Structure 1
Amino acid sequence: MTRGSPSAGQRRSRDSLFSVSAATTAQRHDLGLLPSAMLVWSAGLLGLLGSWWIAALFAVGGLLLAGWWLRAVRRPGWARRLALPGRAGIWALAGVSVLVLLLLVPQLRAAEGDPLRESAAAGHTATLAVELNERPRPIFATGSAGEQGGVRSVVVNAEVQAARVADERVPTTGEVVLLAPAESWAELLPGQRVRTTARLAPARDGELAVAAAYVHEPPRLLGEAPGWQQAADAMRTALREASGVLDPEPAGLLPGLVVGDISALPQRVVEEHRVAGLAHLTAVSGANVAVICGAVLLALRAIRVGPRASAIIAAAVLVWFVILVGPEPSVLRAGVMGGVGLLALVLGKERSALPALAFAVIALVLYDPAMAVSFGFALSVLATAALVLLAPGWVEKMAARGIPRGIGDALAIPAAAQLATAPVLAGMAGQISTVSIIANILAAPVVAPATVLGVLAAAAAPVWPWLAELLVRLAGPEVSWVITVGRKAAGIPGAAISWPSGWWGGLALALVVLVFVVLCRFRRLRTLLLAALLTLVLILVPLRDTLSDWPPARWSVLSCDVGQGDAFLLATEQHDRAVLVDTGPDPALLMSCLREAGVTRIPLVVLSHLHADHVGGLVAALEADAVGAVAIGPGRTPRWAWEQVRDEAARAKVPLVELVAGQRLGWPGLRMDVLGPVAPVSNEVHAEAAGTEINNTSLVIRAHTAAGRVLLTGDIELAAQADLLASGTDLTAEVLKVPHHGSRFTAPELVDAVQPELAMIGVGEDNSYGHPSKEVLRGLAERGVLVTRTDRDGHGAVVADVDGPSLLRRGARRERGRYSPVPATGRPRSAAPALSRARAQPRPRSSASCTAAADGGTVARGPT
Structure 2
Amino acid sequence: MTDLRMAAPALAAWVTALACTQVREVPAWASLTLGGLAVVLLTIAPRARAVRTLSSLAVCLAIGAASAAGLSASSLQRSPAVLEDAANSSRVVDLTAVVTGRPHNLDGPGDRVVVDVTVTAAGASSMPSTAAGVSGLSAPAVLFIGGTADLRVGETLGLTARVENGRDGDRQAFVLADAGGTVSRTAPAAVDDLAGGLRAGFVTFSSELPGDGGRLLPGLAVGDTALVDEALSDRMTEASLSHLTAVSGANCALVVGAVLGLLALCGASRRLRVGGSLLALAGFVVLVTPEPSVVRAATMAAIVLVSHGLGRRSLGAPVLCLAVVVCLLVDPWLAREFGFALSVAATAGLLFLAGPLATLLSRFVPRVLAAAIALPLAAQLACQPIIVLLDPSVPVWGVPANMLAAPAAPVVTILGMISCLLLPTLPGLGAVIGTLAWVPSQWVAAVAAATDAAPLARLPGAPGVPGMLAAVGALVLVSVAVGSASARVRRFSASVLIVAFCGYLAVLGGSRIGELVSRPGDWTVAMCDVGQGDAVLVRSGGAVALVDTGPDADALDACLADLGIGHIDLLVLTHFDADHVGGITAVIGRTTQVLHQTPQEKSERAVITTLADGGALVAETAAGDAGDLGGVAWRVLWPPPQPTPYTGNDGSVVIEFGGTIDAILLGDLGADSGLALLAEGTVGSGYAIVKMAHHGSADQYGPLYSRIGARLALVSSGADNDYGHPTASALALLTRDGTAVARSDRSGTTLVATREDELVTWSSGPADGGLRATG
Aligned to 2:750: 796
The alpha carbon displacement at 1:388 in A equals 2.0
Matched, 1:523 2:469: no
Of residues 691, 694, 704, the one that matches 1:737 is 691
AA of the residue aligned to 1:197: T
Aligned to 2:713: 759
Query: C-alpha deviations, 1:274-302, integer Å up to 9, x for none?
Result: 34433222243212222344455566677
- Distance in 2 (CA, whole Å) between partners of 1:647 and 1:185 is 25
Which range is displaced more, 298-307 or 388-397? 298-307
Of residues 246, 252, 266, the one that matches 2:229 is 266
Of residues 427, 433, 436, the one that matches 2:389 is 427
SS of structure 1 residue aligned to 2:215: helix
Q: Assess, with a 3 A threshold, how the Cα gap between structure 1 residues 130 and 352 changes in structure 2: closer, same or farther.
A: farther
Of residues 104, 113, 119, the one that matches 2:85 is 119
Query: C-alpha deviations, 1:665-689, integer Å up to 9, x for none?
Result: 556x56452333473213xxxxxx8
Say whether the 8 Å CA contact 1:153–1:179 is kept in structure 2: no
Say whether the 8 Å CA contact 1:235–1:462 is kept in structure 2: yes
Higher relative contact order (CA 8 A, sep 6+): 1
Which range is displaced more, 486-495 or 452-461? 486-495
AA of the residue aligned to 2:408: V
Of residues 13, 24, 41, the one that matches 1:40 is 13
Say whether the 8 Å CA contact 1:434–1:497 is kept in structure 2: no
Of residues 318, 321, 332, the one that matches 2:295 is 332
- Distance in 2 (CA, whole Å) between partners of 1:616 and 1:139 is 15
The alpha carbon displacement at 1:150 in A equals 9.2
- Distance in 2 (CA, whole Å) between partners of 1:344 and 1:269 is 41
Of residues 420, 426, 433, the one that matches 1:458 is 420
Of residues 147, 152, 177, the one that matches 2:112 is 152
Q: Assess, with a 3 A threshold, how the Cα gap between structure 1 residues 239 and 766 changes in structure 2: closer, same or farther.
A: same
Which range is displaced more, 750-759 or 387-396? 750-759
- Distance in 1 (CA, whole Å) between partners of 2:462 and 2:110 is 29
Say whether the 8 Å CA contact 2:213–2:443 is kept in structure 1: no
Matched, 1:409 2:376: no
Query: C-alpha deviations, 1:339-390, integer Å up to 9, x for none?
Result: 5788999999985222322322222222222223333222222222222222
Aligned to 1:675: 636
Matched, 1:561 2:529: yes
- Distance in 1 (CA, whole Å) between partners of 2:307 and 2:664 is 66
Of residues 649, 658, 665, the one that matches 1:712 is 665
Query: C-alpha deviations, 1:31-55, integer Å up to 9, x for none?
Result: 4444443343333333323545444
- Distance in 2 (CA, whole Å) between partners of 1:47 and 1:747 is 48
Query: C-alpha deviations, 1:678-711, integer Å up to 9, x for none?
Result: 73213xxxxxx86x44445433333368x62332
AA of the residue aligned to 2:405: A
Q: Assess, with a 3 A threshold, how the Cα gap between structure 1 residues 414 and 341 changes in structure 2: closer, same or farther.
A: farther
Q: Assess, with a 3 A threshold, how the Cα gap between structure 1 residues 627 and 422 changes in structure 2: closer, same or farther.
A: same
AA of the residue aligned to 1:196: L
Of residues 205, 212, 217, the one that matches 2:180 is 217
The alpha carbon displacement at 1:569 in A equals 2.1
SS of structure 2 residue aligned to 1:759: strand
- Distance in 2 (CA, whole Å) between partners of 1:30 and 1:773 is 56
Aligned residue runs from structure 1 range 205-354, under 5 A:
205-207=168-170, 210-217=173-180, 220-221=183-184, 223-247=186-210, 249-297=212-260, 311-327=274-290, 331-337=294-300, 352-354=315-317
**TM-score, normalization by structure 2:** 0.83
Aligned to 1:514: 476
The alpha carbon displacement at 1:558 in A equals 1.9
- Distance in 1 (CA, whole Å) between partners of 2:411 and 2:449 is 20
Aligned residue runs from structure 1 range 338-737, under 5 A:
352-399=315-362, 401=363, 403-464=365-426, 467=429, 469-490=431-452, 491-493=454-456, 495-501=458-464, 506=468, 509-518=471-480, 521=484, 522-529=489-496, 531-532=498-499, 535=502, 541=508, 544-549=511-516, 553-571=521-539, 578-622=544-588, 626-629=589-592, 631-633=594-596, 635-637=598-600, 639-649=601-611, 652=614, 654-659=616-621, 665=627, 669=630, 671=632, 673-677=634-638, 679-682=640-643, 692-695=646-649, 697-703=651-657, 708-716=661-669, 726=680, 733-737=687-691
Matched, 1:169 2:131: yes
The alpha carbon displacement at 1:156 in A equals 0.7
The alpha carbon displacement at 1:568 in A equals 1.2
Aligned to 1:20: none
Say whether the 8 Å CA contact 2:385–2:471 is kept in structure 1: yes
**TM-score, normalization by structure 1:** 0.75
AA of the residue aligned to 2:521: A
AA of the residue aligned to 1:789: R
SS of structure 2 residue aligned to 1:168: helix
Q: Assess, with a 3 A threshold, how the Cα gap between structure 1 residues 314 and 674 changes in structure 2: closer, same or farther.
A: farther
- Distance in 2 (CA, whole Å) between partners of 1:47 and 1:246 is 47
Q: Assess, with a 3 A threshold, how the Cα gap between structure 1 residues 196 and 678 changes in structure 2: closer, same or farther.
A: closer
Which range is displaced more, 407-416 or 716-725? 716-725
- Distance in 2 (CA, whole Å) between partners of 1:34 and 1:428 is 25
Q: Assess, with a 3 A threshold, how the Cα gap between structure 1 residues 280 and 361 changes in structure 2: closer, same or farther.
A: same
Q: Assess, with a 3 A threshold, how the Cα gap between structure 1 residues 162 and 804 changes in structure 2: closer, same or farther.
A: closer
Aligned to 1:829: none
Q: Assess, with a 3 A threshold, how the Cα gap between structure 1 residues 161 and 587 changes in structure 2: closer, same or farther.
A: same
- Count how many residue pairs are aligned between Structure 1 and Structure 2: 757
The alpha carbon displacement at 1:212 in A equals 3.8
- Distance in 1 (CA, whole Å) between partners of 2:613 and 2:42 is 65
Which range is displaced more, 782-791 or 56-65? 56-65
Say whether the 8 Å CA contact 1:153–1:181 is kept in structure 2: yes
- Distance in 2 (CA, whole Å) between partners of 1:650 and 1:463 is 43
Say whether the 8 Å CA contact 2:111–2:148 is kept in structure 1: no
Say whether the 8 Å CA contact 2:95–2:121 is kept in structure 1: yes
- Distance in 2 (CA, whole Å) between partners of 1:228 and 1:592 is 46
The alpha carbon displacement at 1:166 in A equals 2.5
Aligned to 2:764: 810
- Distance in 2 (CA, whole Å) between partners of 1:573 and 1:635 is 30
Say whether the 8 Å CA contact 2:548–2:574 is kept in structure 1: yes
Point out where structure 1 has 5 or more consecutive residues left out of the alignment: 1-24, 142-147, 683-688, 820-864
Aligned to 1:192: 155
Say whether the 8 Å CA contact 2:308–2:314 is kept in structure 1: no
AA of the residue aligned to 2:580: H
SS of structure 2 residue aligned to 1:610: coil
> Matched residues, percent identical?
28
Q: CA RMSD in A?
A: 4.3
Say whether the 8 Å CA contact 1:276–1:495 is kept in structure 2: no
Q: Assess, with a 3 A threshold, how the Cα gap between structure 1 residues 159 and 743 changes in structure 2: closer, same or farther.
A: closer
The alpha carbon displacement at 1:405 in A equals 4.2
- Distance in 2 (CA, whole Å) between partners of 1:556 and 1:296 is 64
Say whether the 8 Å CA contact 1:429–1:501 is kept in structure 2: no
The alpha carbon displacement at 1:806 in A equals 1.5
The alpha carbon displacement at 1:442 in A equals 3.3
Point out where structure 2 has 5 or more consecutive residues left out of the alignment: none
- Distance in 2 (CA, whole Å) between partners of 1:330 and 1:233 is 20
